[in-house]
Structure 1
């Protein structure tokens, strides 16, 4: 009986473990796909943003860089990144990387002061153009944008300093800089911020990009990149409820908190089950907010049921558009919505380590509760590789997840 139990345990580990191949025993094959000049387009995930900021260490542990390294086994001739020249980092709020620090007998993520000089760096080289065209903060239409306002005239490279660092010119667009390189293989993962910036503001700022507009933008992007037969890979948008920033505080149940709501008489009400309290609210909750009518939790820290439904409806529509585009242009399709859902509900066992979406300790998400750790990025990169291998009959080796960075404990 003990032997049977032991055999069952071994089999369960084999079945639920993501295997990583030994490159010495693996025969890589491109199956006639030209990977020589790989270009990646997207947002902060593609850029290598992690722990709340962009810095060199994150760029060297980002999923697109990990994917590019694996593509070298099948003919890629390198991957130029707009590497941060500073030893520090910079986030959209002016902070540097979050770090775990002791506070009130526990460890909490604390940001440092970011290096603003990073935004003044000019890392474009016409003889060696940037292939990682991931831009933190970019929405779908930003890939196409040159000017973002007419009066006063402002170009996207001026409006978004992350892009301005490596844009080929002030007047260019992300997609123009991609096409100018004549890429032979392209990865495209765009649309997260079309719902996420609204979600991160508790539905009190910005807006969800209408599904019809997203479909129009993605159609133009895809036809520009893939109409001439260029091969590539495209990924779906994860459900926001799979990320710790959205689900961490109420992950273990429901709290009858008092929240602001200007849509009801008196402007306050109790939290309804199913609504989400955002990660930054943790500090306010510790200070007593949400415990009484005198100190309600501000609305920007809460996603109500209507806001959640708006986001979910848009995400489903976006992913239908992405699947249609993948089919239309014979692109490899990565279902990252399913991947993140599995990380949230089941987790992964990879080379003896457990990975899930639990904040800080889960291994997938970094200390900002939104972006991936290096190991989370390697898991994502391997999903891209799996899709490419399946669609194009290639044999690209997987990255070794445990070789990449995780949350650093003091």
Structure 2
């Protein structure tokens, strides 16, 4: 089987020598806070607020989160220190490697044998370690993997046991009282301790985890009722912590902008003529069975055509599970078909497609499992869920319009995907390809340069809402993704 990454990641690096760009300066005005007070900013959120990039929380990412950039710009208008729970790791933790060794963040690598370019761990990393600083002085309460629900319960901080699925080591490492405190409670306490302004960006993981898992685990998709109730509780806690404080609330980006669902094409399976002939021979009984059940009126001609499996030499759709098909298991016919342009494969399939599975080949005679693909109906479900959740976020901001403003990150990334975002003539796009790609190598989280655009979205909203004049960040001062190694 050919190396699938060759078909999945196509990088053009001819224009990468130009790395210094100009940032257009507007007319010089004296920085001012307007009617807001930025003496102490507190940020609460998930991996996006934490600065998680390239599949890991590591020093460079943590130091280049939008929250850190925003706090730096606020210094000119009275903002103070902004302390983060430093991870103290150059490469962070991506996964456990052979022998239990921690592997660090993802980087773009070139296979010397095939020339294929794709993400791979940089090498050794570090397991998350407890934060050694003053927890009472923290400003950034961004926790990778956190949902609105787990931000509100003490189990998130421990104990670490099979009986506690809510445990999150990224919160436990800096929780004020592991197993007793909550992320929202700690952030609210920081606000009570002199906080005057906050950023709030929670809710992404209430739908993202379901999506990245191929919509295979409905139990982790937050219901509309729970989302609204938890949003009210979490945002309410921040507002009540200081009745005079103001805040900026961000919304949830679209599914369509994430490279995680774009990097593996529907026809990513390369098949030789010999493999195609052998596979087609094996599917003769299955295809014949489909014709028989169509003749009995159990499926339509359209469904029979959709389910018919046929390989050719070259690039092919892969055989996959599809639970939305008519259940013919009683007749010995599984609910499988080949992928098509309407399906969205997830990034992990790049490592699994075409690989041996119990003597079969995944994607040929072993169907690709549900967790690797989003069906059209699942994509529609997720889009509807994101729109509903964003509706709740918009309503919450409008209900507290005197104290809150919306930072429309969804709009920012939608425009980036449409080629409508740039700084100094240098664009930002929804890819992982340097230098213009705005997503880190994991295909989900923005890189440092994109975080600068996110920070500017917050700044623009704050300036417009409270008559402030906070200077914008120059995105071209921040690196995107590193060149392939």
- Under a length normalisation based on structure 1, what TM-score does the superposition of the two structures give? 0.87
Q: Distance in 2 between the 1:92 and 1:31 partners? A: 45
- Give yes or no for the alignment of 1:222 onto 2:235: yes
Higher mean displacement: 356-365 or 52-61: 356-365
Contact 2:57 2:93 in 1 (8 A): yes
Which one of 54, 78, 85 corresponds to residue 51 of structure 1? Answer: 54
Secondary structure of the structure 2 residue equivalent to 1:105: coil
Secondary structure of the structure 1 residue equivalent to 2:55: coil
Q: Distance in 2 between the 1:298 and 1:46 partners? A: 32
Aligned residue in 2 for 1:110: 120
Matches within 5 A, 1:294-373: 294-330=365-401, 331-361=404-434, 362-373=436-447
- Give yes or no for the alignment of 1:71 onto 2:52: no
Shift of 1:27: 1.4
Q: Distance in 2 between the 1:221 and 1:186 partners? A: 13
Q: Distance in 2 between the 1:196 and 1:114 partners? A: 28
Shift of 1:276: 0.7
Matches within 5 A, 1:6-155: 20-21=24-25, 25-91=28-94, 95-103=103-111, 104-113=114-123, 115-117=125-127, 119-126=128-135, 128-147=136-155
Aligned residue in 1 for 2:348: 280
Contact 1:51 1:98 in 2 (8 A): yes
- Give yes or no for the alignment of 1:191 onto 2:203: yes
Secondary structure of the structure 1 residue equivalent to 2:137: coil
Aligned residue in 2 for 1:260: 321
Secondary structure of the structure 2 residue equivalent to 1:321: helix
Higher mean displacement: 197-206 or 271-280: 271-280
Shift of 1:22: 6.5
Distance 1:317 1:251, change over 3 A: same
Q: Distance in 1 between the 2:48 and 2:422 partners? A: 23
Aligned residue in 1 for 2:277: none
Q: Could you give the per-residue CA deviations for residues 232-269 of structure 1, whole angstroms, max 9, x where no partner exists?
A: 00011011121100123339999643212355441321
Contact 1:248 1:359 in 2 (8 A): no
Contact 1:146 1:155 in 2 (8 A): no
Shift of 1:272: 4.6
Q: Distance in 1 between the 2:340 and 2:36 partners? A: 52
Q: Distance in 1 between the 2:471 and 2:416 partners? A: 22
Q: Distance in 2 between the 1:185 and 1:340 partners? A: 25
Higher mean displacement: 71-80 or 360-369: 360-369
Q: Distance in 2 between the 1:207 and 1:18 partners? A: 44
Shift of 1:41: 0.5
Contact 1:343 1:357 in 2 (8 A): yes
Q: Distance in 1 between the 2:376 and 2:316 partners? A: 15
Secondary structure of the structure 2 residue equivalent to 1:159: coil
Q: Distance in 2 between the 1:252 and 1:67 partners? A: 42
Q: Distance in 2 between the 1:212 and 1:19 partners? A: 44
Shift of 1:226: 1.3
- Give yes or no for the alignment of 1:213 onto 2:226: yes
Contact 1:18 1:349 in 2 (8 A): no
Shift of 1:116: 4.1
Distance 1:41 1:261, change over 3 A: same
Q: Could you give the per-residue CA deviations for residues 197-230 of structure 1, whole angstroms, max 9, x where no partner exists?
A: 1111111235211112101111111221114232
Q: Could you give the per-residue CA deviations for residues 273-300 of structure 1, whole angstroms, max 9, x where no partner exists?
A: 42211122223346596653x1332221
- Unmatched 5+ residue regions in structure 2? 1-20, 97-101, 269-314, 329-333
Contact 2:160 2:167 in 1 (8 A): no
- Give yes or no for the alignment of 1:176 onto 2:185: yes
Higher mean displacement: 72-81 or 102-111: 102-111
Q: Distance in 2 between the 1:60 and 1:105 partners? A: 33
